[in-house]
Chain A
Amino acid sequence: AQSVTQPDIHITVSEGASLELRCNYSYGATPYLFWYVQSPGQGLQLLLKYFSGDTLVQGIKGFEAEFKRSQSSFNLRKPSVHWSDAAEYFCAVGASNFGNEKLTFGTGTRLTIIP
């Protein structure tokens, strides 16, 4: 079974500073990987996805993520954060074996932005 670990429960970053959120996954085959963002009381918005190909993936809102198979990681980065980036971020892994395709979410990382 697949699993996801987000080691940082809460991160605080100054506005304009760079950001990296960590995500480690466990899955036997090539995983499908996703990052979602959730503002309080809202649904989840897809930031980016990795299925195959280029290991550096560009997403919306200036986010990118890099798939590193050797480290089983899919870390999310942004070069300069804005106050509106404050939210909960979830990494998720999808199983690629037919008939069992569902997402497993990490526990989330809450991002706080300070002026």
Chain B
Amino acid sequence: DTEVTQTPKHLVMGMTNKKSLKCEQHMGHRAMYWYKQKAKKPPELMFVYSYEKLSINESVPSRFSPECPNSSLLNLHLHALQPEDSALYLCASSQQQGYEQYFGPGTRLTVT
């Protein structure tokens, strides 16, 4: 099974709200990733966790805060977002960092 699940599918939030995106995989993968994708663009890497430790932070604004509670779960906490943060947020996982990545269906985020 190569399934990565993400909740919620859609999220609308105001600029003063706090919300979280969740990602889960049960493939035993030890690397997990957050990407942001704008319309008609490729995914942009935000964060990488390897063995539950933050491995890469692509200079993402602090209003995005990742968390990896265990090897199966990855969260992205959102606070004080801007309208330009509206995008499709994709989670992915791989056996280890550098191996092929398996993507979830994404969360469509709209910031009003």
Contacts and interface: CB of A to CB of B under 8 A. Distances in A.
Interface of A: 32, 34, 36, 41-46, 49, 90, 94-96, 98, 101-103, 105-108
A115 B103 CA distance: 30
Q: Identify which of B92, B100, B106 gathers the most chain A CB atoms within 10 Å of its CB.
A: B100
Contacts of A42: 105-106
Contact of B101 (A41, A103, A107): A103
A106 B97 CA distance: 20
B56 interface: yes
Given A34-B100, A95-B98, A101-B98, A43 B42 contact: no
B97 A43 contact: no
Interface residues on B, range: 20 to 34
B37 to A, nearest CB: 9
B51 to A, nearest CB: 13
Interface of B: 4, 6, 40-43, 45, 48, 56, 88, 90, 92, 97-106, 108
A103 B48 CA distance: 11
19 contacts: A34-B101, A41-B106, A42-B106, A43-B4, A43-B6, A43-B105, A44-B90, A44-B92, A46-B100, A46-B102, A46-B103, A90-B42, A94-B98, A95-B98, A101-B99, A102-B48, A102-B98, A107-B42, A108-B41
